[in-house]
Amino acid sequence: MDDKKRRQSMILYIIAAIVVYIVLSTVLFPNMQTRQQVVEVSYTQVLDDLNAEDVDKISYDNSDLSIEYTKTGEENTVYTSTAMSGAQESLQDAIRESGAEQTNTVQQDNSLMTYMLLMYGLPILVFLLFGWWLNRRMKKAAGDDGPSMNFGGGFGMGGGLGKSGARIVASKDIGVTFKDVAGQEEAKESLKEVVDFLENPKRYEAIGAKLPRGALLVGPPGTGKTLLAKATAGEAHVPFFSISGSEFVEMFVGRGAAKVRDLFKQANEKAPCIVFIDEIDTIGKKRDGGGFSGNDEREQTLNQLLTEMDGFDNHKGIVVLAATNRPDSLDPALLRPGRFDRRIAVVLPDLTGRKAILQLHAKDVKTEPGIDLDAIARATPGASGADLANIINEGALRAVRMHRTRATQEDFEESVEVVIAGQQRKSTVLSEHEKQVVSYHEIGHAIVAARQKGSAPVTKITIIPRTSGALGYTMQVEEDEKFLTTKQEVLDKLTVYCGGRAAEELIFNEMTTGAANDIEQATKLARNMVTRFGMTEEFGMVALGTVQNAYLNQDTSLTCAPGTAERVDAVVVELLREAHDRALQILRENKFKLHELARYLQKKETITGDEFMTLLTRENPLMPKQPMA
């Protein structure tokens, strides 16, 4: 029974208990709500009440001469007294003359113990019995038929909070192997040894080699870390335990540690198997030196995980795989040999890997003959496996929207733009002046890129607004994938970033907010030139910044004195000013083409790279020839 079902059962249990309590207190014991008050009076007062005919019911006991009676209209009050010795006959005469009803007993309950027992004891007993029954039911559903009441993980704390909650997939139900993973050949090679050990442990034991206790999969989001872990279990034909690090974190201190114990207990019973902990940085963060940190729930969970990984017998074939995109935040004790022995990088795929991933996902999509997945792979540098799968799916969805039975090359090319820049914003209608400004802005980028040898070729220019906020964009795609970038290529890229704003200033003599993203990207690149790449004469090969979260946003923080930081800012400003001046110079030399191409783009809204280069290089008798840079 999973946590959701346990919570639902406990909610029903509490509701049922409240209903039982209300029924017992209002239906079965109505008199408990209105207990009678006992008042002691004198014998003379008894006779006066009888003579006044105010007595409703009265009882007299000869053995102890006790009198108990109630008055008319005062049923909730019982009056008691003691008769005088020898006055029995006169009392009986007074009762008969008053017309009061004489009974053997008068209804009352002056026993507080009986009241407390019936009012509170019985509902609590029913509550406990019902909880015991529900606890046994949940334990049977979870596969634990023990006879004792488990107050630690069952009824006592809400039912099953000590259970790990891991999803267990039998080996025959995994359905994923290494052939279903593309673009991660190095990671697969590292994991194949784990698979071989699980399949043939005696080969390694014969030579004295030990099975790695754990392997840490690190890489950016969407690169297939979870898929690789599942494929490893599918390849080795062993059960697969999957749980997220956040599922160990509980409101009650100690519950996370209990879940860790339960997880490894289950794994030990089903060995050989693979235990996969996703986003392990949730519980595996570095421990601080605070005096009270030992009581932290996350730290107790981490300590238990460290103990369990040290304690289990790896001869049984239990391998722990974990995934994270923040390895720098993990505790060193978790990364030492004997726990996570291996660190496997699951990086963004290269050009060959992207093509393989696209082919893998395109197998399930009906396409027109002649689909060029190489072009899609070249147009998506830096895309993860999840991005590429989304591109194929978006292409298929577009084909359905266009009422076609097969996806075309155009569908996949458009899906690249959807993933990168978002859907077209058809509701956004630009004025003619705004379309003109955006046209000159994008053509400014394109001309600056085309007139520099180190820039990537322009493949598409559009002024159709996108849901990402872009009013237009210029797409450049490298012909071959590059892993190194020269200083000149970085300067050329800075100049391309400045081309849009330079075109606005040159033609309209004004600035717009359309260059905001260009300025942000250019500033980041120029700062990296100074602080990380060592591409400036003033600072040379000095690292002035460090990268944080290398697999996430790659933010850079300065590691220098405040005075040095001011000089860094000055150098960055100078680099951007020089790039802006170069962009202005290139556009002044190609002003005629800038006008011609901007008008053409404004009219067509989208042009291809081939159209752009044809118009840019076409000779025109009205303008002088411009030499190519």
pLDDT band at 294 (very low <50, low <70, confident <90, very high): very low
H or E stretch including 185? helix 185-199
**How many CB atoms lie under 10 A from the CB of residue 304?**
21
Question: Is residue 622, in this structure, part of any structural domain at all?
Answer: no
Averaged confidence pLDDT in the chain: 80
Answer yes or no: 442 catalytic.
Answer: yes
Q: In this model, does residue 354 exceed pLDDT 60?
A: yes
CATH of the domain at 292: 3.40.50.300
Query: What is the mean predicted confidence (pLDDT) over 309-330?
Result: 81
Q: In this model, does residue 98 exceed pLDDT 60?
A: yes
Question: Is residue 601, in this structure, part of any structural domain at all?
Answer: yes
Q: In this model, does residue 374 exceed pLDDT 50?
A: yes
Question: Is residue 302, in this structure, part of any structural domain at all?
Answer: yes
Vertex 348 angle, CA 347 and 351, to 5°: 125
- Which has more pLDDT, 251 or 324? 324
Q: Tell me, what's the pLDDT at 507?
A: 94
Are residues 556 and 438 both part of a single domain? yes
Among 41-55, 128-142, 450-464, 501-515, the range scoring the smallest mean pLDDT is 128-142
Between the CA of residue 67 and those of 55, 77, 112, 495, 601, what are the distances in Å? 12, 14, 21, 111, 111
- How does pLDDT run across 398-426, given as a tens digit for each residue? 999 999 999 999 899 888 888 777 777 76
Q: For residues 491 and 476, is the Cβ–Cβ distance under 8 A?
A: no
pLDDT band at 150 (very low <50, low <70, confident <90, very high): very low
In 3D space, the residue among 629, 414, 604 whose CA is nearest the CA of residue 616 turns out to be 629
Are residues 563 and 461 both part of a single domain? yes
Are residues 307 and 395 both part of a single domain? no
- Which has more pLDDT, 5 or 204? 204
Q: Tell me, what's the pLDDT at 196?
A: 86
Are residues 74 and 174 both part of a single domain? no
Question: Is residue 321, in this structure, part of any structural domain at all?
Answer: yes
Which position among 279, 297, 299, 442 bears the catalytic label? 442
Are residues 16 and 42 both part of a single domain? no
Instruction: State residue 319 phi and psi, 5-degree precision.
Output: -115, 130
Q: Tell me, what's the pLDDT at 437?
A: 93
| DSSP state string for 244-305 | EGGGG--SSTTHHHHHHHHHHHHHHHT-SEEEEEESGGGT-BPP---TTGGG-HHHHHHHHH
Are residues 530 and 588 both part of a single domain? yes
Distance CA 159, CA 7 (A): 7
pLDDT over 70 for what percent of the chain? 78
Q: In this model, does residue 510 exceed pLDDT 80?
A: yes
Q: Tell me, what's the pLDDT at 32?
A: 46
Q: In this model, does residue 513 exceed pLDDT 50?
A: yes
Are residues 41 and 96 both part of a single domain? yes
Q: Tell me, what's the pLDDT at 147?
A: 38
**Coil/strand/helix, residue 38:** strand
Q: Tell me, what's the pLDDT at 440?
A: 94
- E strand segments, 279-431: 318-324, 342-345
42 φψ region: left (φ > 0), alpha (ψ -120 to 50), beta (else): beta
Residue 603 amino acid letter: K
Q: In this model, does residue 329 exceed pLDDT 60?
A: yes
Query: What is the mean predicted confidence (pLDDT) over 449-453?
Result: 90
Q: Tell me, what's the pLDDT at 254?
A: 67
Question: Is residue 270, in this structure, part of any structural domain at all?
Answer: yes
> Which of these three, 345, 372, 390, is where a domain ends?
345
Cis peptide before 562 (omega within 30 of 0): no
Distance CA 505, CA 519 (A): 15
Q: Tell me, what's the pLDDT at 28?
A: 53
Residue 257 amino acid letter: A
Distance CA 442, CA 434 (A): 12
Are residues 496 and 369 both part of a single domain? no
pLDDT band at 512 (very low <50, low <70, confident <90, very high): very high
Pairing of strands 37-40, 74-82: parallel
Q: For residues 357 and 330, is the Cβ–Cβ distance under 8 A?
A: no
Question: Is residue 158, in this structure, part of any structural domain at all?
Answer: no
Are residues 43 and 19 both part of a single domain? no
pLDDT band at 503 (very low <50, low <70, confident <90, very high): very high
Question: Is residue 533, in this structure, part of any structural domain at all?
Answer: yes
Distance CA 501, CA 510 (A): 9
pLDDT band at 149 (very low <50, low <70, confident <90, very high): very low
- Which has more pLDDT, 8 or 242? 242
Distance CA 169, CA 172 (A): 8
Tally of domains in the chain: 5
Query: CA 102: distance to chain centroid?
Result: 77
> Which of these three, 345, 375, 404, is where a domain ends?
345
Q: Tell me, what's the pLDDT at 212?
A: 78
537, two tokens: 């004469």
**Max CA distance (Å), the chain:** 147
Residue 149 amino acid letter: M
Q: Tell me, what's the pLDDT at 122?
A: 67
Sheet order of strands, 606-608 included: 473-476, 458-462, 606-608
Are residues 9 and 130 both part of a single domain? yes
H or E stretch including 137? helix 122-141
> Which of these three, 292, 315, 345, is where a domain ends?
345
Vertex 207 angle, CA 206 and 211, to 5°: 85
pLDDT band at 154 (very low <50, low <70, confident <90, very high): very low
Distance CA 20, CA 33 (A): 16
Q: Tell me, what's the pLDDT at 509?
A: 92
pLDDT band at 6 (very low <50, low <70, confident <90, very high): low
Are residues 238 and 328 both part of a single domain? yes
Q: In this model, does residue 494 exceed pLDDT 90?
A: yes
Question: Is residue 362, in this structure, part of any structural domain at all?
Answer: yes
Q: In this model, does residue 143 exceed pLDDT 50?
A: no
CATH of the domain at 57: 3.30.720.210
Are residues 487 and 386 both part of a single domain? no
Between the CA of residue 411 and those of 239, 422, 459, 475, what are the distances in Å? 40, 14, 16, 17
Residue range(s) defining the domain that contains residue 120: 3-31+114-146
Distance CA 304, CA 162 (A): 13
End-to-end Cα distance, the chain? 70
Q: Tell me, what's the pLDDT at 396?
A: 92
pLDDT over 90 for what percent of the chain? 24
Among 32-36, 314-318, 588-592, the range scoring the smallest mean pLDDT is 32-36
